[in-house]
Structure 1
Amino acid sequence: MKWYSLALLAAPSQAALRFGCSTLSIQRLDPLVEPGRIPSAHVHQIVGGNTFNATMSGDLGEQGTCTTCTFTEDFSNYWTAVMYFKHTNGSYKRVQIMENDALPAGINGGMTVYYTQQDFNSNGNQKITAFKPGFRMTVGSPTTDSLSAAKGHVGLRFVCLDTKSTRFPELPDFPTKKCKRGIMTVHHFPSCWDGKNLDSPDHQSHMYNTAKEAFSPAGPCPSSHPIRMPQVAYETLWDTTPFDNMWPADGSNPFVLSFGDNKGYGTHADYVFGWKGDSLQRAMDSSCMFQACENGKPLKSQTPAQMNKCSVKTLVNEPTDGWLKELPGMNM
């Protein structure tokens, strides 16, 4: 796959960012959907700025003091449900998270985050408006309970990895076979904004999705949501290989998301904006691609060791790892 095609781009062009974020916390908190609730309904993996808490408000870019992400001006928070393995004896164990091999070595778990403008290979030539302080959104829903509905959530997919670089085919539900190198979850957010609301009651209506599969160029924004914003996407790599010898004898999928979904239909993700000042807009107005945006060109960056040092307090005192009798929060 071609990572860069800068020479082919016509000016003007806007940036495409791809960067790693190490794990900030794994616990039952969800300040977007369940603000103030300790604990929230199910376990999430959270990455990003250290302002993350049970309640979050205001300009996070001015509140944060460290971040687990590559860019030191990004105090946003990004989170997804966690994957567990269910043993035939009924117990559960959390699946460990791997770093993407396209990123620098040494990142502690976490995920790969993208802010793209056109597709995976070029950064396009249209104006991109950065998110505003206080902006937040979700994609997908844990209540999705059918394959047809899951297929309708374009951009929410699973990939059965032959290598860490495998990107196809994209599946709307869990792979039904052992995956040689693990499973990747992919979450693409909508990128068309109504231009008015930083959030909405369902955390989705203020945005409109024209995204297509696998970083393909998105369609034009409708008049109801006319403002093109960055296409945010997450990739999370789960190391399922330690469980290869523990699969059920009937070959059925043994993996579940942390809210008990063993199909993957309800995969979902949350985003809370927290870039400092105009840093994201400056990036979107530049012509850099991926790692070329680092080291002050135009964004300040840090090493994996510095990323891994950032942390937040654990507010929910319960085990989320090791062999568990039930999923945290689930009386199953």
Structure 2
Amino acid sequence: MKWSSFIAANGLFAPIHAGLLRFGCSRLTVQRLDPLVNPGQIPSTHLHQIIGGDSFNASMDAKSHDIPKLSTCTTCQFTEDLSNYWTAVLYFKAKNGTFKRVPQRAQQGMEGTQGGMVVYYMTDALFETQQKSKVTAFKPGFRMLVGEVAYRDREQARDFRQLTYICMQNEGTREPETLHFPTKPCPAGIMANHRFPTCWDGVNLDSPNHRDHVAYPQTGTFESGGKCPSTHPVRLPQILLETVWDTKAFNNKADWPADGSQPFVWSSGDATGYSTHADYVFGWKDDSLQKAMDANNYVSAPTLKTQTIAQQNKCQVPDMVKEDFDSWLTKLPGDIMVH
């Protein structure tokens, strides 16, 4: 069953039996910081939007930075999740060559959340009738990166499965998914989907490129029940990040490039969409994630503590870079060129 059919038949939040956490996280900060790819560098190369725990900073060494102990709050609904998640930021490029940051909006049922994303942790495919297998929760110090900032074509993008876009016609639109930016105005915004690899080598919490310690299933996808390769035998929860970029203010095609091309670019300088990427640093308290995954719940999680959206919105970190990224700009932050 596809997303749109499921929503039409059951409603967005209908109960099903697959093991699943689905929760909203408001914006923690928007800055040029990247403790994975550019550790200790202020500023990093391009702008990111970040959610999660407030211990986030430019230097988060896996051995010395104990996220659950150092964080005092989180922008996520479940207070046990002090992890950090981040992606690049979407910009609109006007016909005159100037740039304006595209705001993010909350999804249905999470209205009031400032910016941010919706986060999923899955034990099986979303539409399974019962939980078929167990997953091993991430360990303290675990981190990973999905996507490649330098990619600019479809063949390159095939290295990563299910990094996609949805041109939303309404709140329930979940198909079709494309690997590139939508080419037409999207009435309800553009949803960016980041699905992380779900197989782990069982030894390394990270790797030099933040990718080699994890892998995709040998064939198919996590949702299709694909088996993990022998090199990465440990099955992880499927993490999916959904970000809805509110493009409504930029849907007048008279403001789009004269050549008819689509006008959106990532803060990394990519106008194709193929460079979409996301970072994850694990920071759940104790064994709270494993317990939640083992409980075979859908959305509600009685083993976890929730907080209000107002409390989520209060959690922030200082502006360490102090640059203007919201005005109409003649260049992307960091003087990144579109290429």
TM-score tier, shorter chain, comes to over 0.9
Does the alignment pair 1:21 with 2:25? Answer: yes
Does the alignment pair 1:150 with 2:157? Answer: yes
Quick one: distance in 2 between partners of 1:211 and 1:257? Answer: 30
Given that residues 28 and 40 in structure 1 are in contact (C-alpha distance below 8 angstroms), is that contact kept between their aligned partners in structure 2?
yes
Superposed, 1:305-324 pairs within 5 Å as 305-324=310-329
Given that residues 267 and 336 in structure 2 are in contact (C-alpha distance below 8 angstroms), is that contact kept between their aligned partners in structure 1?
no
Taking only aligned residues, the RMSD between alpha carbons, in angstroms, comes to 1.8
Q: 1:273 aligns with which of 282, 288, 298?
A: 282
Aligned-partner SS, 2:28: strand
Change (3 A) 1:74 1:326: same
Given that residues 150 and 173 in structure 1 are in contact (C-alpha distance below 8 angstroms), is that contact kept between their aligned partners in structure 2?
no
1:23-77 Cα offsets, whole Å, 9 max, x none, are 0000100001110000000000000000100011333122211000000011000
Does the alignment pair 1:241 with 2:245? Answer: no
Change (3 A) 1:218 1:43: farther
- The corresponding residue for 1:51 is 55
1:300-320 Cα offsets, whole Å, 9 max, x none, are 111101100000011001111
Q: 1:106 aligns with which of 109, 112, 133?
A: 112
* Corresponding letter in the other structure for 1:262: A
Q: 2:144 aligns with which of 137, 142, 146?
A: 137
Q: 1:172 aligns with which of 162, 176, 179?
A: 179
Aligned-partner SS, 1:138: strand
* TM-score, normalised with respect to structure 1: 0.92
Structure 1, 146-155 or 110-119: larger mean CA deviation: 146-155
- The corresponding residue for 2:35 is 31
Structure 1, 50-59 or 30-39: larger mean CA deviation: 50-59
Change (3 A) 1:120 1:51: same
* Corresponding letter in the other structure for 1:327: L
Does the alignment pair 1:298 with 2:303? Answer: yes
1:261-312 Cα offsets, whole Å, 9 max, x none, are 000110000000000111101101112111x21xxx0111111011000000
- The corresponding residue for 1:259 is 268
Given that residues 155 and 211 in structure 1 are in contact (C-alpha distance below 8 angstroms), is that contact kept between their aligned partners in structure 2?
no
Alpha-carbon offset, residue 15 of structure 1: 3.1
Aligned-partner SS, 1:242: helix
Change (3 A) 1:193 1:4: farther
* Corresponding letter in the other structure for 1:43: L
- The corresponding residue for 1:330 is 335
1:203-229 Cα offsets, whole Å, 9 max, x none, are 000001129999733411111111111
Given that residues 47 and 89 in structure 2 are in contact (C-alpha distance below 8 angstroms), is that contact kept between their aligned partners in structure 1?
yes
Quick one: distance in 2 between partners of 1:244 and 1:126? Answer: 44
Given that residues 161 and 180 in structure 1 are in contact (C-alpha distance below 8 angstroms), is that contact kept between their aligned partners in structure 2?
yes
Aligned-partner SS, 1:88: coil
1:87-133 Cα offsets, whole Å, 9 max, x none, are 111110000001111x3321111000010111123462212111011
Percent identity (aligned):
53
Structure 1, 227-236 or 215-224: larger mean CA deviation: 215-224
Alpha-carbon offset, residue 4 of structure 1: 4.6
Q: 1:84 aligns with which of 64, 82, 91?
A: 91
Quick one: distance in 2 between partners of 1:157 and 1:163? Answer: 17
- Structure 1 gaps of 5+ residues are none
Q: 1:204 aligns with which of 188, 195, 211?
A: 211
Number of equivalences: 321
Aligned-partner SS, 2:291: helix
Change (3 A) 1:216 1:116: same
Structure 1, 242-251 or 31-40: larger mean CA deviation: 242-251
Q: 2:227 aligns with which of 191, 208, 220?
A: 220
Change (3 A) 1:131 1:25: same
1:142-171 Cα offsets, whole Å, 9 max, x none, are 011212222442110011010122111110
